[in-house]
Structures are given as C-alpha cells and as structure tokens.
Amino acid sequence: MSETSSIAAGIQAGEKYYGLKLREFWRLSLENPEAFWSEIADNIVWFEKWDKVLEWNPPFARWFVGGVLNASYNALDANLKKGLKNKVAIFWEGEEGATRSLTYYQLWKEVNKFANVLKKLGVKRGDRVTIYLPMIPELIIAMHACARIGAIHSVVFSGFSAMALADRINDAEAKVLVTADGMYRRGKVISLKSTADEAVNQAKSIEKIIVVKRAGMADVPMTNGRDYWWDELMKEAEPYCEPEPMQSTDPLFILYTSGTTGKPKGVVHSTGGYLVWAWASLKWAFDLQPDDIWWCTADLGWITGHSYIGYGPFLHGLTQIMYDGAPDYPAPDRWWEIIERYGVTAFYTAPTAIRMFMKLGDEWVRKHDLSTLRILGSVGEPINPEAWKWFHGVVGGGRCPVIDTYWQTETGGFVITPAAGIELVPLKPGSATFPLPGIHVEIVNDNGEPAKPFERGYLIILAPWPGMFMTLWRDPERYKEIYWSRFKPNEKLDFKIKPPAIYFTGDYAMKDDEGYIWMLGRVDDVIKVAGHRIGTAELESAFIGHPAVAEAAAVGKPHPIKGEAIVSFIVLKSGYEPSEDLKKDLVAWIRKTIGPVATPDELYFVSTLPKTRSGKIMRRVLKAVVAGGTLGDISTLEDATSVEEAKKAVEMLRKAMEEGGS
C-alpha cells in the first residue's frame, strides 16, 4: 500500500465529509484487494482457505478461488459453536395473529431434517429447487436446507402467477417445488397449491412437490407419488445432515429479475463472495450489535429478503422479526405495534411503505412507544426528502440515522449507502451518500467520461466486488451484453483493479458539490412499482399473448405512494372493439400472466402507437403524455426523430386517449 498513491486524493467521495476511516477502508479495499478481502473474509467460516482472493477475467469474477465452505453451516452451526444455541433466531408473526419463535438450535434442527428430506427425494448437489412460499419460517428452512446439501435454490415471490412461476421453473429446470396450501392476505386465504399445480402442468422438470400446511385449507388436491406434505416428510426425516463442502464459486442461488426483454433474467450468486458481501455490507451499513432486534420488511422473494433476512442476519448471529401479512392489516398500526412489542432496534423498509404510512397519518405511529429504535433503513427506489424526513422524525423520533441503501439484485448487497458501521457521514435526505469499501463507482456522461457536479449521468462500477453476481443462468452472452458492453474503458477513468471493465447499473445518478451521490431513477425501460422491478417488455409481451391485442406499450407514471404506476396503451386486433369489459379482461389477464404486482393502473385503447421511423415505440413521448407535463428533452430522442414528429405523436395520443378513455 504505497503512501504516494493517488487514490486517496482521487477518491470519488467529497473531501470534506468522506471521513478518514471510511476513506482508508475504501483505499485499502481497492488498492490491495488481496490483503483487504482476506481479512474481511476471515469473519466467515471456511472448511478450506482459498488459494486466490480474486480471479478477474472481465466480465467474469471468481472470488476466494479454491475456498471451501457451506452457507448453512455459516448461518447456523457456526452460531451453535459460538454459544448462541438458545438465542432466538426468528420471531415470526402471521397476519392472522399466530406467533412462533425459533432459536438457533431449533432452526438448525429443522434445516437438517429438511436437508435430509430433499436428499431422500433425490435432490443432489447442483440440482435446482424452486421455492414458492409466503413469509413463513419454512421458507428460510428450505433455503438453508438447499444450501446445506449444495442444491441451488430459486425463490419465486408468492405473489407471482402460475405462468410466471412456470417460466422460472422451466428456465432453471428445477426438480422439486416447495409450496404451501395457501396464504393469508388482508384476512383472506389465497390458494397457492392450485397455482403451483397450474404452473407444474407447464413445467415438466418438476418431479416432486412439497406442500407446507400454512392456511389450513380443506380439499387441497394432492397427486399421488408427486405431492407430499411437509410435516409428514419431516416426521420421518433423519436428524442430522452433514453440510456439503462447497466451492466458493459454486452457485448458492438463482433469483429471477425483470429486464428489458420479455424473458426474466436468472441472476446467479456465488457462495463465498456472496456470503462475505452479505456479512460485510450488513455490518458496515447498520453497525448491528448482538442484542439488536433486526426487522427487514422485505419478502424473501426479492434480493433484499435473500441478503438481509435469509443470510446476512444469521451470519451475525442476530435475532430478527419475520412478518407474514399486509403492513396495514387489520389496522394501520400493525407494524408499529410489532416494533413496540418486540422492541425492534433496527428497522429496514421501503419508500413506498413509508409514503403509505405517511398518508395514513402520524397518530397510528404515535400510539406506540418506538423508543427502542436506534437505526432505520430504506431500499428499493430513491426516497424523496419528504418521506425521508417523516421516517426520521415521526418513526425514528429524530434520533435514528436513516440508512438509504442503493443496490440491485445483481450487486448481491448494498453498494452505495451511509456506513454507520465504519463511520457515519452527515446525512442528506434523499442521498444514499457514498460507496462502501470495495465499490468503485463513477457517474459518467454519454461518452463514458466523468460527469460534472450536479450533472445527471449514468452510474457505473469500475471494479469487481465480492457480492457481484457471477452470470445469468445459462446465458453468459446476455450477461456480457446487458451489463458490460454499454461503456468502454477510457483514459479519463481511473481503474484500480485491472484489467479494466465497466459494469453498467442501468441507473441515472449525480454527485453534488460535496461528492454525495443522488440516485435519479432507471435509464432503461424498467418500471419500479412499489420498489418492485417490472420490465415494460415483460408487460408488453404478456399483453400480446391476449387474443384481442395487436400491439401494446407500457410506461411508468409518477405515483404518490407507489413511486411509479403502470400505464398501458393497447392497439386491438381488427374485429375487436374497445369496451369496459375488455379493459377489465386485459387487467385480469396481466394479473394472471405476471401477477398482481404488475396490475396496470390505467389502460388506454389507441389506434396506433407513436413510433420512430425505424419502428421503435417512442416511450419518452408516451411517458411525457401520461405525466401530463412538457415533452422535456424530446429533441434528444434516439433515432433522429424530429421534434415535429414527436409533437404530432403526442397530439395523436392525447386525442386517442380522450376517445378511448381510461
């Protein structure tokens, strides 16, 4: 580590606030990654040490090469050895009022048994298991059981439809599906098994289905020889399963996320690098202590649930809350009541929820004593300063720092966030502040050169980090193309880990005059609905699957609570007439094909869609029209579309919307 390094001087963060300790961490992590990451990686348990910290063949990184470990061992056995056997790992609460708690020992026993169940059903190292469950402990047990035997889990959010589930099973070629009879939402019971059956009819790789009894549903259809009840299998299971020694670079899981094409992307995470990142990022951002009570309100169907419910908290031997239900059911103080009752100290949620509660009124929060809270967090989309201030003032009583964590499914864990566990910088409502150690970001203009302060640019990452995904499942070409080809290295960029390669996040960002980073939304055609990523292409191809639809376009519209809402434009096939019934049918179709998360808020029938000369849908025009605002920078429309042409398209569309109605 040379004293004369230009890194400290060139550090992208503000000279004034990027404190010495944080700066030193950042400098070491990029200047001498071998030494830095060797030390950090020692915080998890390895059966065999790695030979090489990083093997970087852009854009493929292999971390801790030669290292051997097991994720379930790290999450559970390691804690039993540390004396945490009787510590509560999970306080679980169901919407209907049921409660359960599992100590580390109890969780470990369940995971061992279920690992043996999977083995007995023929699941082997490297096989894929799809998990389609609500937020119950069995979801975590199933994930860890897979990890224990070296099977790759693919968790599919329980709000996804049968078709979406079938697509994800087929892509992963999963052998076993774990699901439940049903789930509770807003007091109703929703069947999951029947959806799972519908999916499996179109997903032939599934040999066995394991069904948890969650909702006590009667008459659950069970197919002999294929379907098994979870508790019956568990009764017979052997108590101990030796954890499989896994290579650091063996995949731990696949998680599907939306992109710019109709096909969801299977993001593949490694075992070693991912666990090191889950451990380090949680520690650095939230500074959690042994007696903290952690509550991350995400669903395990998303990456936030994987990293900060499924793995991270267990690696730190923490106690966490797991809640299966709607946030405001039966009353708008459900969450606050839970925080008070368990004495939650660290609370991590999403801007969409914060905005919803803000609207429901302060009195619901003030009814409860939330004085145990000491740190708050936010994730999923940019948090607007009003929501930030409300969260800080009303929920946090003005005492708790708000840790705005910017990251993605692909990054495995936080990348830009205040690092309360290293050194807390002064916060600015709406800014995720600075990158964590190991994260070398830059904001660049169209030519890939650093943008000036306050200039909106593209957020890129210039060096591999342990939590980065390894590839897209069975599609390395798409991995290269989507993430690593937009920007080429140039001499204005200071690469600290060579050979140089540039990861494109797909997000707009800017730095202020003190180097603070402000995230400014997606560059691509991805809509963020309540923090969930919905690809416009996925929506459009779903619409086109309906017999009445000739063409479709979907865009996001600013929404006061959800951040963005979906607005869709439909051109009907000849022989079909616009009608309210057809509109309802199309909305139902989307709920069925993708899931309720993708429900459009508005739907317009139009006779044609505005397109460029080369036939690309002019999304910016559509967006401007639905936002009701001006056309903005329409003159920079790709594809040499003239301003006149765009204006004409807007007029046409406005007229069509008036005629077609919403």
**507, 525, 538, 540: residue in contact with ligand WT7 (rule CB under 6 A):** 507
Tell whether residue 304 is a contact of ligand WT7 (CB under 6 A): yes
**288, 303, 370, 502: residue in contact with ligand WT7 (rule CB under 6 A):** 303
Q: How far is the CB of 309 from ligand WT7 (least distance, A)?
A: 12
Rounded CA separation 338/479 (Å): 41
Q: How far is the CB of 246 from ligand WT7 (least distance, A)?
A: 25
Q: How far is the CB of 410 from ligand WT7 (least distance, A)?
A: 7
Closer CB to ligand WT7, residue 523 or residue 652?
A: 523
Return the C-alpha torsion angle 228, 234, 235, 240, nearest 10: 150
Tell whether residue 260 is a contact of ligand WT7 (CB under 6 A): no
**249, 405, 536, 593: residue in contact with ligand WT7 (rule CB under 6 A):** 405
The percent of the chain in helix, strand and coil, each rounded to the nearest 5, is: 35, 25, 40
Tell whether residue 406 is a contact of ligand WT7 (CB under 6 A): yes
Q: Which of the ranges 64-72, 183-191, 269-277, 301-309 carries the binding residues for ligand WT7, by CB under 6 A?
A: 301-309
Cβ distance 272 to 248 under 8 Å?
Answer: yes
Cβ distance 514 to 239 under 8 Å?
Answer: no
Q: How far is the CB of 532 from ligand WT7 (least distance, A)?
A: 6
Q: How far is the CB of 406 from ligand WT7 (least distance, A)?
A: 4
Rounded CA separation 195/157 (Å): 13
**119, 522, 557, 619: residue in contact with ligand WT7 (rule CB under 6 A):** 522
Tell whether residue 130 is a contact of ligand WT7 (CB under 6 A): no
**110, 181, 333, 381: residue in contact with ligand WT7 (rule CB under 6 A):** 381
Site for ligand WT7 in 409-438 (CB under 6 A): 409, 432
**181, 404, 423, 564: residue in contact with ligand WT7 (rule CB under 6 A):** 404
Tell whether residue 382 is a contact of ligand WT7 (CB under 6 A): yes
- Amino acid occupying residue 186: R
Tell whether residue 150 is a contact of ligand WT7 (CB under 6 A): no
Closer CB to ligand WT7, residue 67 or residue 312?
A: 312
Rounded CA separation 198/433 (Å): 45
Strand 208-212, strand 251-257: pairing: unpaired
Tell whether residue 505 is a contact of ligand WT7 (CB under 6 A): yes
Rounded CA separation 163/267 (Å): 19
DSSP collapsed to 3 states, 578-612: CCHHHHHHHHHHHHHHCCHHHCCCEEEECCCCCEC
Rounded CA separation 239/254 (Å): 27
Tell whether residue 211 is a contact of ligand WT7 (CB under 6 A): no
Q: Which of the ranges 201-209, 324-332, 362-370, 499-507 carries the binding residues for ligand WT7, by CB under 6 A?
A: 499-507
**123, 444, 519, 586: residue in contact with ligand WT7 (rule CB under 6 A):** 519
- H/E stretch holding 365 reads helix 363-366
Rounded CA separation 563/520 (Å): 12
For residue 309 the two structure tokens come to 């419910």
Tell whether residue 379 is a contact of ligand WT7 (CB under 6 A): yes
**3-class SS of residue 341:** helix
Tell whether residue 408 is a contact of ligand WT7 (CB under 6 A): yes
Tell whether residue 533 is a contact of ligand WT7 (CB under 6 A): yes
Rounded CA separation 586/603 (Å): 9
Alpha helices (runs of H) in 471-517, residue ranges in sequence order: 476-484
Closer CB to ligand WT7, residue 171 or residue 299?
A: 299
For residue 106 the two structure tokens come to 């109890």
Q: Is the dihedral of CA 14, 20, 22, 28 positive or negative?
A: positive
Rounded CA separation 365/367 (Å): 5
Tell whether residue 536 is a contact of ligand WT7 (CB under 6 A): no
Closer CB to ligand WT7, residue 33 or residue 531?
A: 531
Q: How far is the CB of 484 from ligand WT7 (least distance, A)?
A: 16
Q: How many CB atoms lie within 10 A of CB 363?
A: 9
Tell whether residue 515 is a contact of ligand WT7 (CB under 6 A): no
Q: How far is the CB of 496 from ligand WT7 (least distance, A)?
A: 23
Applying CB under 6 A, the site for ligand WT7 has a residue count of 22
Tell whether residue 257 is a contact of ligand WT7 (CB under 6 A): yes
Return the C-alpha torsion angle 419, 422, 426, 428, nearest 10: 0
| Residue 6 DSSP code | S
- H/E stretch holding 338 reads helix 334-342
DSSP collapsed to 3 states, 146-211: HHHHCCEEEECCCCCCHHHHHHHHHHHCCCEEEEECEEEECCEEEECHHHHHHHHHCCCCCCEEEE
Closer CB to ligand WT7, residue 77 or residue 167?
A: 167
Tell whether residue 305 is a contact of ligand WT7 (CB under 6 A): no
Residues that bind ligand WT7 (CB under 6 A): 257, 302-304, 379-382, 404-409, 432, 505-507, 519, 522, 528, 533
